[in-house]
Amino acid sequence: MSESTISDGKIHILYLVRSAPGVSYQMLMDACLRSLYLDFFTFSQCYSELIAGNLLDRSITETGTGEVIGTNETLTITKGGLAILEDVESTLNLQTLGYLKKAAAELKETLDEKNSVKAFISPVEGTENNYELTLETHREGKDFRCTFTIEGEEKAKKIQSTWLYGGDGLTQKFVDELLKM
């Protein structure tokens, strides 16, 4: 790995995170590896150095998107990262800039799609086998959110999974059923 490859990789990562704030580590890695500009080891080194250099911030939270099991790292660019990117962006050749714009648009679209349907599960305190399940969808200006308690973790996870992979359609079915009443 040359210093040039590492520098280019850092610029690519900063550009993508600036264009899609709140992007997850997993989505960013997938976008970078698809680009063929970065392999996994180069991406990992660039990412680690950007975090260590305080050019990227990461927060570890439950995103409710089902992207990964458990918590997920979401990323934002810091003021320092933004300043560096603004300094070097004008030096990028048109082909690279065109690629980055396209990759950023695809990443933003994927991020918007992933964040449009969410499901959260949490144990209900003071109970042995009850779970609070919150289901959300935010698409095409139609927001839906409901929270309820269900008995059994397996049942809760099944509902969560069904919602994550078909929630937007389920919302319309719910509304249709209410209109029948």
**pLDDT tens per residue across span 121-150:** 889 998 889 999 888 887 767 778 889 899
Which residue, 63, 78, 7, 76, is CA-closest to 37?
A: 7
- The pTM (predicted TM-score) of the whole model is 0.68
Tell which wins on pLDDT, 15 or 117.
Answer: 15
> Residue 4's pLDDT is what?
67
pLDDT in tens, 62-101: 655 555 544 567 889 999 999 999 999 988 889 888 888 9
Q: CB within 8 A of 107, min separation 6: which ones? A: 16, 19, 20, 23, 27, 28, 31
